[in-house]
Amino acid sequence: MKKFALLLIGIAIFGVLMVEAQVKSISGIVTSSEDGTGIPGVSVIVKGTTIGTVTNIDGYYQINVPEDAEMLVFSFVGMKTQELPIEGSVVDATLNPDVIGVDEVMVVAYGTAKKESFTGSASTVKSENLEKIQTSSITKALQGMSAGVTVTSGSGQPGANATIRIRGISTFGDADPLIVVDGFPFDGNINSITTEDIESMTILKDASATALYGSRAANGVIMITTKKGRQGTSNFEVKASYGFNSRAIEEYDRVNVPQYYELQWEGIRNALMAAGSSASEAAAAASEQLIPTLGGYNAYNVPNNQVVGTNGNITSTGQLLWTDDWQEEAFVNGNRQEVTLNASGGTEKLDYFLSGSVLDDEGIIKASEFRRYSVRANVNSQLKDWVKVGLNLSGSLSRQNFPASSGSSYVNSFMFTRNIAPIYPVYLYDLDGVLQTDAEGNKIYDYGNEFGRSRAYGSSINPLGTIELDTRAYGRDIFTMRTYADFRIMDGLNFKVSMSADYNNYSGLTHQNQKYGDAVNFQGRSTRSTGRTFSYTANELLTYDKSFGDHHVNVLAGHENYKYKYNWLTATRTGFPFPGLVELDAAASAEGSGSYEHNYRIESYLAKVDYDYKDRYYASFNFRTDGNSRFAEDVRWGQFWGAGVSWRISEESFMNDVAWINSLRLKASYGEQGSDRIGSYYAYQGLYETGWNNIDYPGLLASRLATPNLTWEALKSTNIGAEIKFLDRFSVNFEYYIRNNEDLLFEKPLAPSTGFTSIDENIAELQNKGFEVEIGAFLVNRNDFKWNLDLNLSHNTNEIKSIPQDFIISGSKRWEVGKSIYDFWIQDYAGVNPQNGKSQWYYDVQEVDGNGDPVFDDNGDPVLTGERDVTEVYSDADRYYVGSAIPDLTGGVINNFEFFNFDLSIMMNFGIDGKVLDGSYQGLMHGGTYGTHWHADILDRWTPENANTDVPIIDGDQDANSRSTRFLVDGDYLNFRSVNLGYTFPTTLIERINVQSLRLYVAADNVMLFSKRKGLDPQQSLSGTPGNQYSPIRTIAFGLNVKF
Amino acid sequence: MKRIYYIIAIVSVMLSACSKDYLETSPTNQISDQDVFQTADGAQTVLDGIIRYMREYNSQHDDFGVKAVDLAQDLMGEDIAVERFHWFGYDYRIDNRNATYRRVNKTWELYYKMIYGVNGVINNIDDATSDNEAYKNNLKAQALTLRAFSYFRLIQMYQFTYKGHESAPGVPLYLEGTVEGKPRGTVSDVYTQVVADLDEAISLFQSSDLPQRHIADPTLNIAQGIRARVALVMNDWSTAASMAQAARQGYDIMTPDEYAAGFDSYAQQNWMWGLEINDEQSTIYASWFSHMDWTIGGYCGLGYSPKSYSLALYNEMDDSDIRKQLIDATDAASGRLIPYKFASGGDKEFAADYVMMRPEEMLLIEAEARARDGQDSQAQTLLKELRDSRYSSPATVDQTGTDLINEILLERRIELWGEGFRGLDIKRLKIGVDRTNSNHDPVVAVNMTMPAESKYFIYQIPQDEIDANDNIGEGDQND
Indicate the helix (H) or strand (E) that contains B41.
Answer: helix B40-53
The bridge status of strand A997-1010 relative to strand A637-648 is: unpaired
The bridge status of strand A813-816 relative to strand A637-648 is: unpaired
Helix, coil or strand: residue A1015: coil
- A105/B237: higher pLDDT: B237
Burial of A691 (0-12, 13-18, 19+ CB in 10 A): middle
Q: pTM of the full predicted structure? A: 0.85
- Chain B nearest-CA distance from A958, in A, is 9
Q: What ipTM goes with this model?
A: 0.92
Question: How far, in Å, CA of A92 to CA of A74, rounded?
Answer: 10
Q: Does A449 touch chain B (CB under 8 A)?
A: yes
Residue B83 CA from chain centroid, whole number: 25
Torsional sign, CA A570, A573, A577, A579: positive
Residue ending a domain, among A52, A70, A98, is A98
Question: How far, in Å, CA of A803 to CA of A818, rounded?
Answer: 10
Residues in B closer than 8 angstroms to A847, CB to CB, are: none
What is the CA angle A22-A490-A622, rounded to 5? 145
Q: Does A852 touch chain B (CB under 8 A)?
A: no
Using CA coordinates, name the residue in chain B closest to A496. B9
Torsional sign, CA A1027, A1030, A1036, A1037: negative
Q: What residue ranges of chain A have pLDDT lower than 50?
A: 1-2, 4-6, 8-9, 11-20
Q: B67-106 pLDDT, tens per residue?
A: 999 999 999 999 999 998 899 999 999 999 999 899 999 9
> What per-residue confidence (pLDDT) applies to B15?
56
Q: Let me know whether A75 and A57 are in one domain.
A: yes
> What per-residue confidence (pLDDT) applies to A67?
84
Mean pLDDT of B118-146: 94
Strand partners, A912: A889
- Chain B nearest-CA distance from A689, in A, is 4
Please check whether residue A152 lies inside any domain of the structure: yes
pLDDT band at B3 (very low <50, low <70, confident <90, very high): low
Mean pLDDT of B372-398: 95
Residue ending a domain, among A230, A246, A275, is A230
Residues in B closer than 8 angstroms to A271, CB to CB, are: 442-443
Does domain B36-215+455-479 fall under CATH 1.25.40.390? My reply is yes
Q: Let me know whether A52 and A133 are in one domain.
A: no
> What per-residue confidence (pLDDT) applies to A13?
45
Q: With CB atoms and an 8 Å threshold, state whether A685 touches B26.
A: yes
DSSP track, B254-303: PPHHHHTT-S--TTTTT-SEEE---TTT--TTSSHHHHH-TTSSSTTTTT
Q: B262-290 pLDDT, tens per residue?
A: 999 998 888 999 999 998 898 888 999 99
**pLDDT for residue B12 is more than 70:** no
CB of B308 closer than 8 Å to CB of B338: yes
Q: Which residues contact B385 (CB under 8 A, 6 or more apart)?
A: B253, B363
Selection from A274, A352, A211 nearest residue A714 by Cα: A211
Selection from A322, A267, A384, A451 nearest residue A16 by Cα: A384
Q: Does A149 touch chain B (CB under 8 A)?
A: no
Q: Let me know whether A65 and A165 are in one domain.
A: no
CATH of the domain at A170: 2.170.130.10
Helix, coil or strand: residue A772: strand
Selection from A464, A449, A575 nearest residue A519 by Cα: A575
Question: How far, in Å, CA of B310 to CA of B312, rounded?
Answer: 5
> B43 vs A541, B37, B138, B140, CA distance in Å?
52, 6, 11, 9
Q: Let me know whether A178 and A88 are in one domain.
A: no
Candidates A448, A522, A692; nearest CB to B49: A692
CB of A790 closer than 8 Å to CB of A893: yes
Q: With CB atoms and an 8 Å threshold, state whether B31 touches A690.
A: yes
Q: With CB atoms and an 8 Å threshold, state whether A856 touches B469.
A: no
Q: What residue spans define the domains of chain B?
A: 36-215+455-479, 219-251+360-400
Residues in B closer than 8 angstroms to A14, CB to CB, are: 4-5, 8
> What per-residue confidence (pLDDT) applies to B14?
54
pLDDT band at B1 (very low <50, low <70, confident <90, very high): very low
Helix, coil or strand: residue B472: coil
- Chain A nearest-CA distance from B403, in A, is 33
Using CA coordinates, name the residue in chain A closest to B462. A752
The bridge status of strand A178-181 relative to strand A221-226 is: parallel
Q: Let me know whether A91 and A115 are in one domain.
A: no
Using CA coordinates, name the residue in chain A closest to B99. A875
Q: Let me know whether A94 and A160 are in one domain.
A: no
Q: Let me know whether A170 and A217 are in one domain.
A: yes
Residues in A closer than 8 angstroms to B216, CB to CB, are: 694-695
Q: Does A588 touch chain B (CB under 8 A)?
A: no
Question: How far, in Å, CA of B283 to CA of B54, rounded?
Answer: 12
Q: Which domain holds residue A39?
A: 23-98
Q: With CB atoms and an 8 Å threshold, state whether B5 touches A489.
A: yes
Give the best residue of B10, B23, B123 to mutate against chain A (max A CB count within 10 A): B23
Q: Let me know whether A226 and A111 are in one domain.
A: yes
Q: With CB atoms and an 8 Å threshold, state whether A702 touches B31.
A: no
> What per-residue confidence (pLDDT) applies to A16?
43
Q: With CB atoms and an 8 Å threshold, state whether B50 touches A753.
A: no
Q: With CB atoms and an 8 Å threshold, state whether A603 touches B85.
A: no
CATH of the domain at A33: 2.60.40.1120
Q: Does A21 touch chain B (CB under 8 A)?
A: no
Give the best residue of A753, A876, A926 to mutate against chain B (max B CB count within 10 A): A753
Residues in A closer than 8 angstroms to B98, CB to CB, are: 875
What is the tally of structural domains in chain A?
2
Q: Which residues contact A852 (CB under 8 A, 6 or more apart)?
A: none
> What per-residue confidence (pLDDT) applies to A18?
44
> What per-residue confidence (pLDDT) applies to B2?
52
CB of A667 closer than 8 Å to CB of A721: yes
Selection from A1021, A927, A983, A1024 nearest residue A274 by Cα: A927
Diameter over CA atoms, chain B: 116
Question: How far, in Å, CA of B469 to CA of B478, rounded?
Answer: 15
Question: How far, in Å, CA of A841 to CA of A4, rounded?
Answer: 69
Residue ending a domain, among A179, A201, A230, is A230
- Chain A nearest-CA distance from B313, in A, is 22
